[in-house]
Structure 1
Amino acid sequence: MEHTEFAPGLMIAGVTLPLRQRDFKLIAFDMDSTLINIECVDELADAVGRKAEVSAITEAAMQGEITDYKESLRQRVALLKGATLAQIEQIYTERLRLNPGAQELVAACKLAGMKVLLVSGGFTYFTERLRDRLGLDYTRANVLEVVAGALTGRTVDQPWGDICDGDEKRSMLLQTCTQLGIAPSQAIAVGDGANDLPMMDVVGLSVAYHAKPAVRERAMVSIESGGLDRLLELFVR
């Protein structure tokens, strides 16, 4: 997609400006490296001395070099075996930070009447805390199996399936649109990795945030410098 520079570090393609917030009823965010500053699975791996190994798989998956996201996540979760709930809590309190502009963008969208969805290939331990912290309306993520206060290296199957991959992100977004009685064209999707592309491809406005090259190329908006709230520069009230 051919992009033009709207402002320094803010690229657009196929977007008719100005955008109006009232035209959108839902915004969906990826979590890791989009809404927050870390890849939670990599930080969990650090707790058990396996960060390099897990980070390499994560990077390949986000670049789109590994096409089977579910299998890549199973491999990574297996390497987390033995991490304790105390270590996970420490990651949340000491390492996890909202990315710049995240709180401002969420607040502005909520003020404009949009619902907010968080869809993640990460874990409910983190998405549920972010939901409560930011007042998010919907979340979907993977559940880590815990026995005796430590991870078993497996995820727990959910009614919707086993692992939240790109197809599940798209499915959850479309399901939420149906629930709200809106068209996908009235939704915004924000992400940074290859597993965000399925949901970004079906919405009215796709936004890449400091994203991998393949994601920047296909997004309608690419935020390449500054915070998430730079998206608001494209909107009028």
Structure 2
Amino acid sequence: MTAARFLVVLDADSTLIQDEVIELLADEAGRRAEVQAATEAAMRGDVDFATSLRSRVEALAGVGTDAFERVRVRIRPTPGVRELTAAVHQRGGVVGVVSGGFHEILDSIAPDLGVDRWRANRLAVVDGALSGRVDGAIVDAAAKASSLREWAGELDVPPAATIAIGDGANDLEMMSAAGLGVAFNAKPAVRASANLVVGPQDLREIIPLLP
């Protein structure tokens, strides 16, 4: 693995993209309202993320895998995301995304947005439909922080040269592990804990912070 000058790691939902993918999937099950309320509670830190994710994924049981393509076309990249990833690459950096969302969507959108590496949850499928369970270990706050440290180690990037960008309570450990933790479009608890708060929902605002 080639060394990098620095590493930028973003959350996916409401950071890299404007949407919460699990809510778009819940539309397919006719259960968006309840899933949206549970997502908000988890992002505020009111409930444990892993417990909340399991309950929200249960609401997706029976949704066919053909829904993934319908959800993908509804995804709205956050303004400035391509400009940010291009600027990181021009300066010798690497862009990572670690998400409490799902590989089934991120695998399609991440490369197009200039992301170099990513990690997310996987949804279990039985007979062409979602089973209502997560397949494998859940990407929670601790997993996000460990992903940042792991990638920095692989790229020979010192902790001080890492930037973590997120919006929810699930991002706080990752932001604390980074040299610079940026609250972007964030919940109050995240803004209070971040090194820096970016108000406009435009990722070009991050470019001046790059080394």
- What's the TM-score once normalised by structure 1's chain length? 0.84
Q: Deviations over 1:209-232 (max 9, x none)?
A: 111011111112211124011122
- Partners of 1:44 and 1:226 in 2: CA distance: 23
- Partners of 1:30 and 1:168 in 2: CA distance: 12
SS at match of 1:75: helix
> Could you tell me which residue of structure 2 aligns to residue 106 of structure 1?
85
> Could you tell me which residue of structure 2 aligns to residue 52 of structure 1?
33
> Could you tell me which residue of structure 1 aligns to residue 142 of structure 2?
167
Q: Deviations over 1:52-75 (max 9, x none)?
A: 111111000000111x21111000
What amino acid is the match of 2:51?
E
- Partners of 1:184 and 1:81 in 2: CA distance: 40
Does structure 2 conserve the Cα–Cα contact (< 8 Å) formed by 1:99 and 1:228? yes
What amino acid is the match of 1:72?
S
State the Cα distance separating 1:123 from its structure 2 match.
Answer: 0.2
- Partners of 1:28 and 1:77 in 2: CA distance: 25
> Could you tell me which residue of structure 2 aligns to residue 81 of structure 1?
61
- Which shifted more, 131-140 or 204-213? 131-140
The RMSD of aligned alpha carbons is: 1.5
Q: Deviations over 1:21-45 (max 9, x none)?
A: xx95100010000010110011111
- What's the TM-score once normalised by structure 2's chain length? 0.94
Does structure 2 conserve the Cα–Cα contact (< 8 Å) formed by 1:47 and 1:83? yes
- Partners of 2:131 and 2:187 in 1: CA distance: 31
- Partners of 2:10 and 2:79 in 1: CA distance: 14
Does structure 1 conserve the Cα–Cα contact (< 8 Å) formed by 2:184 and 2:201? no
What amino acid is the match of 2:128?
G
- Partners of 1:130 and 1:110 in 2: CA distance: 18
> Which residues in structure 2 correspond to 1:1-237 (within 5 Å)?
25-66=6-47, 68-93=48-73, 95-157=74-136, 162-234=137-209
Say how many residue pairs are matched: 208
- Partners of 2:13 and 2:201 in 1: CA distance: 17
User: Structure 1: where are the runs of 5+ without partners?
Assistant: 1-22
- Partners of 2:115 and 2:94 in 1: CA distance: 8
SS at match of 1:80: coil
- Partners of 2:19 and 2:206 in 1: CA distance: 21
SS at match of 1:32: coil
Q: Say if 1:65 and 1:182 are closer, same or farther in 2 by CA, change over 3 A.
A: same
What amino acid is the match of 1:182?
V
- Partners of 2:115 and 2:200 in 1: CA distance: 25
State the Cα distance separating 1:121 from its structure 2 match.
Answer: 0.2
What amino acid is the match of 1:207?
V
What amino acid is the match of 1:113?
G
- Partners of 2:9 and 2:63 in 1: CA distance: 30
% same residue: 44
Q: Say if 1:169 and 1:65 are closer, same or farther in 2 by CA, change over 3 A.
A: same
SS at match of 1:167: helix
Q: Say if 1:38 and 1:177 are closer, same or farther in 2 by CA, change over 3 A.
A: same
- Partners of 1:140 and 1:226 in 2: CA distance: 23
